[in-house]
Structure 1
Amino acid sequence: MSTILDPRPAAQSPPLVPGALPLLGHGVSLVRRRLEFLRQARAYGPIVELRIGPTAAYLVNEHTLLRQMLVQDAARFPRGIHFQKARAVAGNGIITASGPEHRRQRRLVLPAFNRKRVEVYAQVMREIAVQRIEGWPQDRPMELKPEFVGLATRVGTKALFSAELATPAVATVERALPVLTRRVSLRAMDPTGLLERLPTPGNRRFATMMDELHGMIDGIIGTYRATERDRDDLLSMLMAARDDETGRAMTDRQLRDEIISILLSSAETTALTLSWACHELGRHPSVQRRLQDEVDAVLGGRAPEHHELGALDLTRRIIKETLRLYPPTYFLSRTAVEEAELGGYRIPKGTTMLYSFFSQHRDPRLFPRPDHFDPDRWLPNRSADVTPDAYLPFGEGAHRCVGEGFAYAEAMTVLALIAGRWQLRPVPGERVRPVGTVTLVPADLRMTVRRRTR
């Protein structure tokens, strides 16, 4: 009897990144200098092995393989530990669900973020942004991230709920979100799960805030159910949505999870994008002047209407370049639910697959001069300076962010208002640097503003 040999070479294991310590592996590097480590690890191969304590994880560095994992082979690699930890806050909402549950939730949520609906929410964005930005203190150092978190939280809450219910809800959401995001951040960095089980003051405060937030949202949903009228807001859209396949609407629990998912994702990510954009404009006065010229020419001192955002081309490119340099959700994970092969490497079942949009967006092979803030790299005549398939600030595939249009509209509206009214200046002597937690946050970002005179 003859033996038939498979002519294909056997899949190999990825190379191990140097520097793993006994017992700790690469854990110290991931905690102390995560962003630098993720960029350096790209030099060792398209997929590399990391040790997180005694456990092996694979880091996907090649952008074509990352796209394959997120799109073509997504069913083999569902969401990993980062998303599992976020379930403590967002339940089974669209930012944490996987598989059939996610597909169903996405079908229900997507219509609430189509272009026509974003035009409705844009009015809320504009009104709140004008109120907040007009009152900024002149010539006094101001922490930008908390200011933008407050602004984005109000926008999200007032887009979700009708006017009479949104105002009291804002205070609860503003108190809750910083506590919730910090707890999720800490839990995501604790693979043992021990931290979340300890009776610490932080965990007790987390539980209290979750109870308060759930109570507020459940009360609003109950009010909507009792009156059964369309309030022309996001919650009304979610309640009216029906699954095309089953005809079913969302349960109250699903509605609550989606509301928290929307608030959690929109407030933090938009606030970070605006914070980093203002930081870069302060560092690049010539780009700031060009932005002011564009806003003056298109708006003439007015707050932008949604239909005018299309004429603010540089404004959009500034947001796009900011998201390249500082993608808010910069480091994520998937899990291999079956043995697979990716890029010629064998992926055992159960392997944690890590990937970083931050390190990919700063790879000089994909984006020349990657650390330089250059909004003009996105001009059509400079296509050689970008790799579109490698630009993934909103994710890709079935889990691509449904609120991308909402996020761009809000960020552009706020940035245009700032450019029309204020001159942004960095605080002398202060060094701003990105810090990787669950999101990419700016450490020590304070700026001063001075009212513009035309």
Structure 2
Amino acid sequence: MSDDSSYRVATDFSGKLAKPPWGYRQWMLTGNPAIFFDHLANRFGDFVHYRGAFNFYLINHPDLIKNVLQQTNKNFDKNTPIYRRFANAFGNGLVVSEDTRWRCQRKLMQPMFGHRAIEQFFPVMVASTNEMLSRWQARPNQDSSFDLAPEMSRLTLEIVGRTLFRDNFGSASEKIQEWTHTIDSYSAKPPIPIIRDLWFPSGRNRRLKRTLREFHGFIQEMIDERVATRHGDDLLGILLRAQDPQSGQAMSHTQIADEVLGMIVGGHETSSSALTWAWYELTQHPETLTQVFEEIDQVIGSRPLEIEHIKELSFTRMVLDEVLRLHPPFWFENRNTRQQTKLAGVDLPAGSIIVMSRYSLHRHRRYWRDPNRFNPHRFQPKHEENPRSSYAYIPFGGGPRICIGTHFAMMEMLVIMALIGRHFQIELSCEDRHEMSAATTMTPKHGVRVIARPRAS
């Protein structure tokens, strides 16, 4: 990877930040937003002023992004239209909370998501995946195709549900799937001001509000039950027992409900999207798929999958890293300037919206050779492009607000990849071009239809 730290600021002849013409504004509303921001960065530079309904600044350079997310992160917050809508719908959880509340929540929850702590959820991941594979094995026609995307979504939802609620998830799984489907449908289109706000009297918004009431009611029932039975050993029980070591303060039940809803809504989308893209890419690159199979066979063989095996799946991890580079599920990030702030020598007014597109950053030609090519080997430890310590690669964000569930998601995806790859050969059922959809998450627009045939033992 290049260590060139210079960035290209888009300017017109007056020396001010360039402002793309009106046609770009129409594209933002009607086109694919990830492609829009990528074109904006490629056409105008690493720092672009774009004025639409709000005062936007697109930044697409690792140093600028590091400045916003880490070095001067206190100058920015999440008081943006998108995060406000998220908070109105899903509560004031860790994703959207700020300042003292966020610090307290993060401090309480961080120990639950460390490397060692999440290993207790490994058996849930294995059991849920094996149940899905048993359904695949029982299909009467092994040559029939199915859409992989909803299968991955159902599986990752099952895992996060069992992690949170243990046995109670089974009895409520169909209802939870229905609720999350409604929420996912709400998130399936780019956020357009006004009509996407919950107060707007649309049928979609009324359905979402009803769903959220029912979902919150279910979570509160689970909390009440855990309190009555002295909590339990699932993640919900751990949340209820968590206390600040200095003050002894625990989370309120409202706080816990907000966190649980956020985990369910966001906790399955990242993994399911990445897994769907992973198998799509592997079907397009048979040599890479063969390497994945060889590693799985060598590391696991005919033995039951153990936690120690996951740490040895280094090439499979590189495949997932490359998938997250090309197809980052949460493909964009945004911040609000708390007060007038200087960035790269430019004065940004208070209330400006800073936009960071992971999709564009991860394909920046200055930092990635042949950036649109699927090449897991670029993530080898000593490879010149290896970006693990750089803000050129931020699939889970960066700085103090990096996603708390990063380790959980990576272990979950490796478990699922290993078990699917051990038992099934995945093939695309057709050669149709798989178009990308970029809303809240980046997904294949029309799904990915595959044929899963049992591998010869």
TM (norm. structure 1) is 0.92
1:172 to 2:175 alignment: yes
Gap change, CA 1:13 and 1:330, over 3 Å in 2: farther
* Fraction of identical pairs, as percent: 28
- Residues 396-449 of structure 1 show CA distances to partners (whole Å, capped at 9, x for unaligned) of 112101111110110000001111111111122311121111111112221111
- Residues 273-304 of structure 1 show CA distances to partners (whole Å, capped at 9, x for unaligned) of 10000100110111111111111111113442
Most deviating of 402-411 and 12-21: 12-21
> Aligned-pair distance for 1:14?
5.5
| Residue of structure 1 equivalent to 2:419 | 417
| Residue of structure 2 equivalent to 1:201 | 203
- Counterpart code for 1:332: E
> Aligned-pair distance for 1:31?
3.4
| Residue of structure 1 equivalent to 2:157 | 153
Gaps of 5+ in 2: 1-10
Q: How does 1:260-271 map to 2 (within 5 A)?
A: 260-271=261-272
Checking the alignment, whether the CA contact within 8 Å between 1:332 and 1:354 is kept in structure 2 is yes
Gap change, CA 1:294 and 1:195, over 3 Å in 2: same
Gaps of 5+ in 1: 1-10
Checking the alignment, whether the CA contact within 8 Å between 2:332 and 2:356 is kept in structure 1 is yes
| Residue of structure 1 equivalent to 2:443 | 441
> Aligned-pair distance for 1:30?
5.2
Most deviating of 139-148 and 44-53: 44-53
Most deviating of 191-200 and 313-322: 191-200
Checking the alignment, whether the CA contact within 8 Å between 2:196 and 2:205 is kept in structure 1 is no
| Residue of structure 2 equivalent to 1:6 | none
> Aligned-pair distance for 1:185?
4.9
Question: For 1:396 and 1:382, how far apart are their aligned partners in 2?
Answer: 22
Checking the alignment, whether the CA contact within 8 Å between 1:130 and 1:303 is kept in structure 2 is no
- Residues 37-85 of structure 1 show CA distances to partners (whole Å, capped at 9, x for unaligned) of 22222232331111324x4311111111111101111111111222221
Secondary structure of 2:144's aligned partner = coil
TM (norm. structure 2) is 0.91
> Aligned-pair distance for 1:28?
2.3
1:64 to 2:63 alignment: yes
Secondary structure of 2:77's aligned partner = coil
Equivalent residue for 2:230, pick from 228, 231, 251: 228
Question: For 1:412 and 1:125, how far apart are their aligned partners in 2?
Answer: 10
| Residue of structure 1 equivalent to 2:4 | none
| Residue of structure 2 equivalent to 1:293 | 294
Q: How does 1:30-429 map to 2 (within 5 A)?
A: 31-43=30-42, 44-53=44-53, 55-79=54-78, 80-136=80-136, 137=139, 138-163=142-167, 165-186=168-189, 189-192=191-194, 195-229=197-231, 231-384=232-385, 386=387, 388-389=389-390, 390-429=392-431
Most deviating of 386-395 and 356-365: 386-395
Question: For 2:26 and 2:73, how far apart are their aligned partners in 1?
Answer: 27
Gap change, CA 1:363 and 1:194, over 3 Å in 2: closer
Checking the alignment, whether the CA contact within 8 Å between 1:328 and 1:439 is kept in structure 2 is yes
- Counterpart code for 1:153: L
Checking the alignment, whether the CA contact within 8 Å between 2:146 and 2:449 is kept in structure 1 is yes
Most deviating of 100-109 and 299-308: 299-308
Question: For 2:133 and 2:21, how far apart are their aligned partners in 1?
Answer: 47
- Counterpart code for 1:298: V
> Aligned-pair distance for 1:13?
7.8
> Aligned-pair distance for 1:450?
1.3
